[in-house]
Amino acid sequence: MISLGGSLIVPGEIDTKYLANFRKIIASYPARFIIVCGGGKTAREYMCVAGALGVKSSKEKDRIGIHATRLNACLLRSLFGRLAHPNVVIDPFQRLRWKEKVLVAAGYKPGWSSDYDAAVLAYRNGGTRVINLTNIEGVYACDPKKYSDQKVLRELTWSKYKRLIPKKWSPGLSTPFDPVASRYASSRKLVVTVMDGRRLDLFGKVLAGTAMVGTVIHP
């Protein structure tokens, strides 16, 4: 199970080179994948505009962000062509039947990020692990933008991780793995690796089990 951050798909403009290289790695690896796309900058820009235009409802802002994840997912699904199931999964609780190498999913309902959808899909499809590809190296005890001496925490239990992040979800919240997803993953004893998805060379090694990169969050 892979949770692909929207910040990697659209860091500013759509990163076509990154997406092509990501596809190459997935296509060459001997396994099947469920890939959940985040909304990233596209989602945050639209939610910001909505707020500036007077939209106050958190649910409405969440819905806007969810549609950004679906746009990114449609792009990714098209990129994989015949390797991907023809439909983007919206509801992570639906019973899935698929035979293709790749199944692409997106956001579902207001109240959480695509991290939660990834955790649900992993658990309901017999998985025990989520690789969360994001634009940071891993989990820090404090914001590294404010405290330059911070180093990546290589390993954390869920109980320790949940103390580092907000307890509640809000639209556009930026955390390595969102609070709602964290509670679900913790209760289902999932293992989540948070890593810098820009380093596709290291991503390949993580898939192969030959390198420990980023932060591993476990029961």
How much is the pTM?
0.94
Residue 48 CA from chain centroid, whole number:
21
Q: Is it the case that residue 172 has pLDDT exceeding 90?
A: no
Domain ranges of the chain: 2-218
- Count CA atoms closer than 13 A to 72's CA, side-chain side: 32
**CATH architecture assignment, domain 2-218:** 3-Layer(aba) Sandwich (3.40)
Query: Predicted confidence band at 210 (pLDDT cuts at 50, 70, 90)?
Result: confident
What region does 54 belong to: left with phi over 0, alpha with psi -120 to 50, or beta? left
Contact residues for 111 (Cβ-Cβ < 8 A; gap 6+): 59, 62, 169, 180
pLDDT band at 183 (very low <50, low <70, confident <90, very high): very high
Cβ–Cβ under 8 Å, residues 118 and 48: no
* Reduced DSSP (H G I as helix, E B as strand, rest coil) percent helix, strand, coil of the chain, to 5: 40, 15, 45
Whether residue 149 has pLDDT greater than 80:
yes
- Cα(60)–Cα(64) distance, integer angstroms: 6
Per-residue confidence band for 69, with pLDDT thresholds at 50, 70 and 90: very high
pLDDT for the residue 148: 81
CB 217 within 8 A of CB 156: yes
Q: Which residue has the tokens 């409405």?
A: 60
Local structure of residue 30 (DSSP, 8 states): S
* Cross-strand pairs, 195: 133
